[in-house]
Structure 1
Amino acid sequence: MAQFKPGERVEVSSNDRGFRGSWYAGTVVRREAKNTNRYVVEYDQLYEDGSGEKLLQETLDWIQLRPPPPPPEKKKVQFKFGDEVEAFYSDGWWEGAITGEHSGGKFAVFLQRL
């Protein structure tokens, strides 16, 4: 079981319908005292309401958290049709696959939103 400390950066997966396969950036606020398998996380870009003033905090099971990825390498990555990737869409990272290549080093990605 992973253990995260307050202030530690994490990515959060969602079990909500329409959001499975997505990961959102956040920071651990605290570990629950009664259930040490659960953490309170504050999201970086998700808000409690439409005003965009108060960041959303949520209590989550440890299995929904992962460390953020390492910084990208400086070398150019070569993608090809069918490669599994994560693409930034709608304030989060979504699991997908390369379905085509466009000019300028851009790619079409199929995002399976469950």
Structure 2
Amino acid sequence: MADNVDADPFKNGTQVEVSLEDDNFWGPWYTATVIRPHFQEDPQNSSRVSHTHVREAVDPILVHPIPPHEARWQFNVREDVDAFHNDDWWEGIVITDLDGGRYSVFFRSSRKQIEFDESQLRLHREWVYGKWTKMWNFCLPFSIAFFGEL
């Protein structure tokens, strides 16, 4: 997997993914185009991006390059994935392998569970210090139950 897409993955005209801040849930990642990159001397400390005819200033931490394509044969239960749903990428976790290249994915942000074809999934990665990084799962096995009050 390539560490980064380009020497300058946020130059003007580059396709990126953007997440908009929302207090109620973790938002999806939208495809957008950089129309004015963030520079240190920018007093607003933001990049301008365009998404389906909407232009908006976005905090640089909410922008990352388009992740590199990774060929996958299958996903594992409890693996963090991004699922393409309603034209955006949503972070979730595989909870069931339904066979035939279909998976049930749980979304922590909405507390919903939806089935997807493997073609609608990608491994979840984080853009950290200019490189794509796999974040290790720290979730407990689903068989653990808590009794009594927490």
TM-score (norm 1): 0.74
- Structure 1 position 3, deviation (Å): 7.1
Q: Which runs of 5+ in 1 are unaligned?
A: 45-54
- Structure 1 position 31, deviation (Å): 3.3
Q: Which has the larger radius of gyration?
A: 2
Q: Which runs of 5+ in 2 are unaligned?
A: 1-7, 111-150
Amino acid at match of 1:71: H
Q: What percent identity do the matched residue pairs reach?
A: 37
- Larger proportion of strand: 1
How far does the alpha carbon of each residue in 1:4-41 deviate from its partner, in whole angstroms, 9 at most, with x for none?
21101111122213451421111001136743631111
**Distance of aligned partners of 1:25 and 1:84 in 2 relative to their CA distance in 1, 3 Å threshold:** same
Which runs of structure 1 show a deviation greater than 2 angstroms over 4 or more consecutive aligned residues? 31-37
How far does the alpha carbon of each residue in 1:60-97 deviate from its partner, in whole angstroms, 9 at most, with x for none?
01111001111232xx4331211111101122111110
Where do residues 22-41 of structure 1 align in structure 2 (5 Å cutoff)?
Answer: 22-31=28-37, 34-35=42-43, 37-41=45-49
In 2, Cα distance between equivalents of 1:82 and 1:96: 9
Aligned length: 101
In 1, Cα distance between equivalents of 2:96 and 2:30: 25
Q: RCO (CA 8 Å, sep 6+): is it higher in 1 or 2?
A: 1
What CA RMSD, in Å, does the superposition of the two structures yield over aligned residues? Answer: 2.4
**Distance of aligned partners of 1:36 and 1:13 in 2 relative to their CA distance in 1, 3 Å threshold:** same
TM-score (norm 2): 0.58
Identify the match of residue 103 of structure 2 among 87, 94, 107: 107
